[in-house]
Structure formats: C-alpha cells, structure tokens
Amino acid sequence: MTDAILEVVGLTRRFGTVVANDDVTLRVRPGDVVGLLGHNGAGKTTLVNQLVGLLRPDAGTIRVGDADAVEDPAAARRHVALQPQAQAPIDGLTPRRAIELSGRIRGLSARDARAAATALAEEFDLGPWLDRRALPEGGVLSGGIRRLTSFAMAVAAPMPLLVLDEPTNDIDASRRRLLWDAVRRRGDEGSGVLVVTHNVAEAERVVDDLVVLHHGRVVASGSPARLRGTQDSDLRLDLQLQPDGQDPSTAANPTGPGTSPSVTIRRQVRAGRRVLLTVPAEEAAAAVTWATSLRDEERIDGFSLGPVTLEDTYLALTADPKPRPDAIEREPETSEEEPAHA
C-alpha cells in the first residue's frame, strides 16, 4: 500500500518504432502539486492519455488510489478530474451551464453545482461571460475564456486527483496568475495535482515537485530548489546576441563551458539569440566587466545578471547537442493514433 494518489512505475508506450514514453516513473501524493515539464513532443500528453484510460501502455503500471488504471480504467477515472489539452467541447452551452453539468456528473446536487459555478465565476472574473452561449465560430467567447471554463469544469467538484494538461494556454497574464493561485489552492485543500506544462517560470512558484520529460524519458525530478542545485551560490549571466552573432563564451573557450578571459563558466546553454551562463557569485563584478566589454565591442546587443532560475536548469537538461537520428520521425504530442481528450 502507498500513500500516493497517483503512482506510475516503468511506463512505456510506443507508436510503431517511436518510443513516446520510455520507462517513466512518477508519483503524486494528496496535497502535492507536481509539475510535468517538457517541450512539445516530449511525450507529456501521451502520458496523460494513459493515466485516464484513453491509451493502454505497452509496459508498466498506473495506480490511482487503490485502483489499477491499466486493468480497470473506469474505476481509476472515478478518482480523477481532467482538463485536457484541447479546448472543452462547450459549443451551444454557456460557461455557467457547462460548469454546472460538470459538477452534476461528478455527484454534486443541482444547488451545489449552481453554487460552484457562481463561486468559480467570481474566482476567475468570468462574470461578464458566464451566461453567453459558446458558438462554433467563436467570437462570443475567446479562447482564454473557453480555457478558464474548461479549468472550472475540472475543479467544479473536489476530486482526489486533478490532472491539468497545459491549463494556461490562451489565457491572458492577469488571469494566468489567478489560475496558478487556484491550482496551488486545490493542492492545499488536499487534492493531488499533476500539472502538465512547458511554462517553467510560472510553474516554479506553485509546484512542490517537478518531473522533467525529454524524448519520452524522465531526465530529472525533485523540488525546484533541488533541481536548481545552486543554494544561491551562482548567478546567471544572460547575453543577448546580435542577429547571426557568435557565442562569445564559446569563442573564448572552444572546448565548451570553462573559463572566459576573466569569468568561470560553470554551465552554458544557448536559447535562440540568448546565451545563458552560470557563473560564481563571487565573480559577479568580473562577469559584468566582461559583458560590458562585449557590448562596447558590439559583439552582443546587451546583457543582464541575476539569480539562477529553474529555466536555466530546464534548458540545460533538455538541450540536444546534436539532432537525434529519430528526431524527424518522432510522434507529435497529439495525433490520430493518440487521442488528446475524452
């Protein structure tokens, strides 16, 4: 017996020759908010679809509470509320009616479902749209309002396990903050929450643990502080390159991260026209002097120096030094073979 509401062990799922999930293990306990991070195509939605019985794994086990989700997916689903990656099919309904129906399906009385819809509308500032009917051509309800409605449908009735697949897609910045606060609140109220996202910076402030998925494999897991692994002893030097500009840290040390003319480089990650360098805090002055000289010589457009973030670790963990042989053939996050939602 385990105290986890969700326990996944050795989960593997293939699509032909492509391994979408490769020996994935993770757990979510009641009250925990766990973030599942990964780029598009990392296998996140494939994993979610197996958790809720839309796909059967080729190997491994999934337990939701006391239920075996592989052998008895219907029993497992009774413990799970899912917000799928795709928009909820609410055409013809108002957000109020969609939330009420979701609450009734999960066992709320008509009165409690109405109260839940009203409370959730207030929580997410949905009042002006609550009684507007969703139309197939859109326009009446924006993508962000539909997404918030989908989240409200998932949380209308308390459930032991809440699975959220990219919950902030299409949502404006102010309401994204409301949604992340709501996610944290559901965990504090006792639900186990698994949040699938690629938004590292926003997830970091609400999750208890993180699982990083890359090419279908778990490449790291643990608390945000553990994954950062710096104990405030390192800083991030962010160099903004010019178009077609060379990485000056590589030019200074062609064998890779090591030492610039005056700064020790402990980690080096390229992200588009940004170069993220992890440097010792005691060398902050030298780092600023070096970066200033690069800017004055017009070798970079600008720079910033600040604390190391989880984004730095995430980019380092998921950086591919060279294309994988199967990269072109990898299964996308959703496909005809892989249903995206119930």
pLDDT tens sequence across 71-130: 999 999 999 999 998 888 888 899 999 999 999 999 999 999 999 999 999 999 899 999
**Mean pLDDT on 28-49:** 92
Can you give the pLDDT at residue 148? 93
**Mean pLDDT on 20-43:** 93
Mean pLDDT of the chain: 85
pLDDT at 342 over 90: no
Can you give the pLDDT at residue 271? 80
Task: For domain 6-227, give the CATH number.
Answer: 3.40.50.300
Q: For the chain, what are the domain ranges?
A: 6-227, 231-307
Percent with pLDDT over 90 in the chain: 55
**Mean pLDDT on 54-80:** 93
SS3 string, the chain, reads CCCCCEEEEEEEEEECCEEEEEEEEEEECCCCEEEEECCCCCCHHHHHHHHCCCCCCCEEEEEECCEECCCCHHHHHCCEEEECCCCCCCCCCCHHHHHHHHHHHCCCCHHHHHHHHHHHHHHCCCHHHCCCCCCCCCCCCCHHHHHHHHHHHHHCCCCCEEEEECCCCCCCHHHHHHHHHHHHHHHHCCCEEEEEECCHHHHHCCCCEEEEEECCEEEEEECHHHHHCCCCCEEEEEEEECCCCCCHHHHHCCCCCCECCCCECCEEEEECCEEEEEEEHHHHHHHHHHHHHHHHCCCEEEEEEEECCHHHHHHHHCCCCCCCCCCCCCCCCCCCCCCCCC
Can you give the pLDDT at residue 341? 40
**Mean pLDDT on 186-206:** 90
103-107, 121-125, 201-205, 251-255: segment of lowest average pLDDT: 251-255
Domain 231-307: CATH class, spelled out: alpha beta
pLDDT at 204 over 60: yes
Can you give the pLDDT at residue 231? 54
pLDDT at 144 over 80: yes
**What predicted TM-score, i.e. pTM, was given to this entire model?**
0.79
More confident residue, 194 or 170: 194
pLDDT at 254 over 50: no
Can you give the pLDDT at residue 153? 95
134-143, 266-275, 291-300: segment of lowest average pLDDT: 134-143
